[in-house]
Structure 1
Amino acid sequence: MLERLKINKRLLRELDFSVLIIAIIIVVFGAINIYSATKGFDLFRLQLIWLALSLFVVYIILKIDYNVIRNYSAIIYWAGVALLILNDFVLGKVSKGAKSWIGIGSRAIQPSEFAKLGLIIMLAKKLDDMEGNINEPKNFFTLVMYAGIPMILIYIQPDMGMTMVCFFIVLGIFFTAGLNLKVIFGGVFSLVAAILVVWNSGLIKPYQKLRLTSFLSPEKDELGSGLQLMQSLIGVGSGGILGKGFNNGTQTSLSFIPEAHTDFIFSVVAEEWGLIGAGILLSLYGILIYRFIKIARTSKDIFGSVICVGVISTFLFSLIQNIGMTIGIMPITGITLPLMSYGGSSILSSFMAIGLVLNICMRRKKINF
């Protein structure tokens, strides 16, 4: 039994351990900042428990050849869609104006985090079947259909943040697959037009519009829609170069920043660890994404490369969006900072994505056993 659980030593030699080490460092650093933001061990402990569970799941993923995962791509994709349907129409509970969670006892899971992975795997499988020929109209519209189903289900929750993440996953995959730039620009233009129509249709409630546009002039409503961003800007700015020190951030300690342990965790980092601490964190993310890119380039097949591109797109956009909203250059959408923000679904799905990339890394070469 124990022998079956072991990973072949030849495969382990191909594993990029630096990716796992960096990911673990970021999660532990995130847990430390979560402790500072919440002034308690409860969420700190839970975050580390999720880390341990996630590492176990990564190990299981590494045991399975990703070509086997390829064979089950349809099941994985439709399971994610089924979870979204259950969330949207049956079991979902409303939190902060969006029905994005399925309650399990005192906890909850966010189905869109796992449906996002199913989307990446399905697009990778289809592109591999198509031998990368994305500019064939039939192929293109097939991919759009598979991309559109989960995105629509996520949008109607409504979860604008995750919808944006999925859109940029699809955009990144389509771009690297060589889709004609005219089609890409036409698609972006059509999306903007659709957003304008929906924006003025009454489907988006006033408080949701305010949340998305408050970053443009948060000072106009410092005690209302602009409160979160204004307090975040004060925290980020007051951190200076060296920061105020762990557990010494006034914006954090006095709970002036709402959701400091989740959406606005970067504000805690900037205030308490300063520009240097924030810079080191960004450097770790940069190394992580660089390693992902290297693995994508050396993958032995289209399926592996596309999965890597999907994961890169997820991490890169989430980083830009999350950090951008804490410093007032992006709308506040509720996107978490990967591996840093508190949340079991976010941590687990991030490590599942990392596990897939490392699986592809381990099997880049043909190894005879």
Structure 2
Amino acid sequence: MEERKSSLQQLDFTLLFLLFVLMCISLMAIYSGTTEQYAQLDGTFFVRRQVVWFAIGTILMLAAMSIDYEMFKNFSIPLYGIGMFLLLLVHFFGIYRNGAQRWIGHPDYFLFQPSEFVKIFVIIALAHLLYHISQSPKEKTFAGDAKVVGKVAAVGLPPFFLILIQPDLGTALVIAAIMMTMILMSGVTWRMIGLLVSIVAAAISFLVILHNYFFDIFNIFIKGHQLDRVYAWLDPMGDTSGLGYQLFHALQGIGAGQLYGMGFTQGAKSQGGEIPELHTDFIFTVIGEEFGFVGATVLIVVYFLLLYRMVIIAFSCNNTFGSYLVAGVVGLLVFQIFQNIGMTIGLMPITGLALPFISYGGSALLTNMIAVGIVLNVNIRTKHYMFGEDN
């Protein structure tokens, strides 16, 4: 009884409240972004379905909280193996839609995107790997750091490439962001960080050279529709009726919102049906247009506070494995938030990444809810000592 009370006392109600605020913002934005664009449906159709997804996500979050996170060590390899099997299943037997092969299931009834859940499996696998490395501390050397990076790459790169060839560049970059966050958390030296940044810069330069002089080879790595998104990002005004159509209208909508916005369900672009995927990838446009700079700032502040709470949990945890788990979740959410908002306002190329807890959808929302459950799990089971950690 006392243990249950102690766990309840350590439940981070601030984080839960921030999550509830995001849920409310999500339902408002989805309602506003779909009432006119999908006028043939009931105005609350997508809202009701999103409520169902939130309910399922809450159950999964509670399930992720209920199991002692130390048990995740025992399942890290099987979960990673299941994730790789599902990605191979998608590669050979997946459903092809909108230029990509990312789903398994039935196109008319149920679609499941394994790459979303693979993010969680990769976080658990990398946390377990780095925990084992931390249990045998050695003198910090460049060679030792290289081994750490090599082991992280051995775990993270196989799912990265299997997701990349679907093609799903956005989710593949999320895997890369998780890997980089875990490497930073592992305590490698700045020399190694500098080397990794140099490798990334060299890879981008190599792709630019291939694009300019060996386009056939370049097309093996970057598909045509992905390149079109880069062109639209570099020059959104160059073809406002074609490649830059979506971004052009999104920027117009956000700009029209000015300081206080045009009002709930009053946005010209949001209600005009001119922006495809408004309730999913481009939902930030609804918030920027109808609630203005103030509304967009409130959303970003809520995200900042949510991530800040997670960072506090990661650093206050006296279990290395728990800290790595939370760090992986932070890397997962930070990249998705930055990429989605960035692409909507023209700072980043357009990808198919959802805005966490806001965009309409199932697989991505469930994954993020499970991730929050893992963070709450770590916080509940973190022991606090008055004079340091008990040896």
Give the TM-score category using the shorter length.
Answer: over 0.9
**Mapped contact 2:236–2:243 kept (Cα < 8 A):** yes
After TM superposition, the structure 1 stretch with the greater mean CA deviation from structure 2, 269-278 or 177-186, is 177-186
| TM-score normalised to structure 1 length | 0.93
**Mapped contact 1:28–1:48 kept (Cα < 8 A):** no
Other structure's SS at 2:92 match: helix
Amino acid at match of 1:342: Y
**Mapped contact 2:146–2:192 kept (Cα < 8 A):** no
Task: Flag the 1:240–1:136 CA change in 2: closer, same or farther, 3 A.
Answer: closer
Separation in 1 of the partners of 2:352 and 2:202?
23
Query: Of residues 114, 129, 153 in structure 1, which corresponds to 2:162?
Result: 153
Q: Alpha-carbon deviation of 1:278?
A: 0.9
Please name the residue that 2:368 is paired with.
350
Matched ranges for 1:326-337 at <5 A: 326-337=344-355
In the alignment, structure 1 residue 228 sits paired with structure 2 residue 246: yes
Task: Flag the 1:327–1:140 CA change in 2: closer, same or farther, 3 A.
Answer: closer
Matched ranges for 1:102-121 at <5 A: 102-104=104-106, 106-121=109-124
Task: Flag the 1:72–1:193 CA change in 2: closer, same or farther, 3 A.
Answer: same
Please name the residue that 1:241 is paired with.
259
After TM superposition, the structure 1 stretch with the greater mean CA deviation from structure 2, 45-54 or 131-140, is 131-140
Deviations 1:48-90 (A, max 9, x none): 1010111111111111100012211111111111111111211
Please name the residue that 1:126 is paired with.
129
Structure 1: segments with no counterpart, 5+ residues: none
**Mapped contact 2:145–2:189 kept (Cα < 8 A):** no
Separation in 1 of the partners of 2:341 and 2:193?
26
Other structure's SS at 1:43 match: helix
Please name the residue that 1:18 is paired with.
14
Please name the residue that 1:42 is paired with.
45
Other structure's SS at 2:52 match: helix
**Mapped contact 1:211–1:331 kept (Cα < 8 A):** yes
Deviations 1:185-216 (A, max 9, x none): 32333334445347542212333201123111
Please name the residue that 1:278 is paired with.
296
**Mapped contact 2:128–2:321 kept (Cα < 8 A):** yes
In the alignment, structure 1 residue 88 sits paired with structure 2 residue 91: yes
Identity of aligned residues (%): 37
Other structure's SS at 2:238 match: helix
**Mapped contact 2:61–2:369 kept (Cα < 8 A):** yes
Please name the residue that 1:73 is paired with.
76
Please name the residue that 2:102 is paired with.
100
Other structure's SS at 1:331 match: coil
Please name the residue that 1:305 is paired with.
323
Amino acid at match of 2:171: M
In the alignment, structure 1 residue 59 sits paired with structure 2 residue 59: no
Task: Flag the 1:213–1:169 CA change in 2: closer, same or farther, 3 A.
Answer: farther
Separation in 1 of the partners of 2:70 and 2:231?
44
Q: Alpha-carbon deviation of 1:177?
A: 1.2
Separation in 1 of the partners of 2:223 and 2:73?
40
Matched ranges for 1:195-274 at <5 A: 195=204, 196-197=206-207, 200=215, 201=217, 202-203=219-220, 204-274=222-292
**Mapped contact 2:113–2:363 kept (Cα < 8 A):** yes
Please name the residue that 1:174 is paired with.
183
Separation in 2 of the partners of 1:340 and 1:358?
20
Other structure's SS at 1:221 match: coil
| TM-score normalised to structure 2 length | 0.88
Other structure's SS at 1:100 match: strand
Amino acid at match of 1:316: V
Separation in 1 of the partners of 2:237 and 2:374?
43
Deviations 1:253-291 (A, max 9, x none): 111111110110000000011111111111110110000
In the alignment, structure 1 residue 296 sits paired with structure 2 residue 314: yes
Task: Flag the 1:366–1:298 CA change in 2: closer, same or farther, 3 A.
Answer: closer
Query: Of residues 137, 140, 143 in structure 1, which corresponds to 2:149?
Result: 140
Deviations 1:15-64 (A, max 9, x none): 10221221122122112211111112111111110101111111111111
Other structure's SS at 1:103 match: strand
Other structure's SS at 2:104 match: strand
Name which one, 1 or 2, has greater alpha-carbon Rg. Answer: 2
RMSD: 2.0
Q: Alpha-carbon deviation of 1:129?
A: 0.7
Please name the residue that 2:40 is paired with.
none
Structure 2: segments with no counterpart, 5+ residues: 36-42, 386-391
**Mapped contact 1:249–1:271 kept (Cα < 8 A):** yes
**Mapped contact 1:212–1:333 kept (Cα < 8 A):** no
Q: Alpha-carbon deviation of 1:137?
A: 4.1
Separation in 1 of the partners of 2:84 and 2:11?
31
**Mapped contact 1:173–1:306 kept (Cα < 8 A):** yes
Separation in 2 of the partners of 1:94 and 1:32?
31
Deviations 1:164-186 (A, max 9, x none): 11111111110121123333332
Pairs aligned (count): 362
**Mapped contact 2:263–2:291 kept (Cα < 8 A):** yes
Separation in 1 of the partners of 2:384 and 2:317?
11
After TM superposition, the structure 1 stretch with the greater mean CA deviation from structure 2, 152-161 or 77-86, is 77-86
Amino acid at match of 1:67: E
